[in-house]
Amino acid sequence: MQHYTMNLTLKVWRQKNSKSKGHFESYQVKNISSEMSFLEMIDVLNEELIAEGKDPIAFDHDCREGICGMCSMYINGRPHGPWEQNTTCQLHMRAYKDGDTIVIEPWRANAFPVIKDLMVDRSAFDRIIQAGGYISVNTGNAVDANAIPIEKQKADDAFMAAACIGCGACVAACKNSSAMLFTSAKVSQLSLLPQGDPERKTRVLNMVAQMDKEGFGACTNTGACEAVCPKGISLSNIARMNAEYFSASLVAQ
């Protein structure tokens, strides 16, 4: 693959905190390598801003390996940028060409208030998971992996649901700012396995209640969430959670 450099115009959302009014600021970045990651490109810009005595752009990051879900950015109108099933930290600058203008924003959702610039508070996701509680399992010696027979299809579906990294791209892409894909993935990964069965009904009721309490919107099945999910979480999880919720609601009455 041919290596090249480029000059770019960045229009970046700057916001001091959740109470302040934000605005876009334009920056010119030069001699950016096509093999840089998107976050490395922002690192270069921040080094220049610091050298000039200016406030660097605040953004979330940790592993930079597509695992932690922290590198949440809305890039040219799409969460995590133009590549499919890809996080921002895995996006490389070869996705762009010399002279391009790139617009970078934080997630836009009432449940994800802006902390600063491109950083948002996604602790609402943590509270949804916490609402699900623990699973009742015996402690002590580890059970042999083959001691509990699980159908391969169910095991595969559970693993796929568990791949969700909680980045919030599904919320950012949804016109309603719905968290149904995230919540359903967390519900599914346990409801499909025997270990999650004891709290199966209370789990889905509590997690959905917390999701609504956090102020996320309703799901209208547009499919935008699945389209931008960096881990390809399927809409089928939403259908599964709806069925789980309906069943649990009947028992609770």
Which amino acid, 225?
C
Please identify which residue in the block is written with the tokens 């480029």.
6
Distance CA 189, CA 126 (A): 16
Domains, the chain:
5-105 (3.10.20.30), 123-252 (1.10.1060.10)
* pLDDT of amino acid 147: 75
Distance CA 80, CA 164 (A): 15
Which amino acid, 179?
A
Q: What tens digit of pLDDT does each residue of 20-53 get? A: 999 999 999 999 999 999 999 999 999 999 999 9
For residue 215, how many other CB atoms are within 10 A of its CB? Answer: 13
Q: How far apart are the first and last CA of the chain?
A: 62
Cβ atoms 178, 226 nearer than 8 A: no
Q: Which phi and psi angles does 146 have, rounded to 5°?
A: -95, 5
pTM of the model: 0.92
Q: What tens digit of pLDDT does each residue of 66-104 get? A: 999 999 999 999 999 999 999 999 999 999 999 999 999
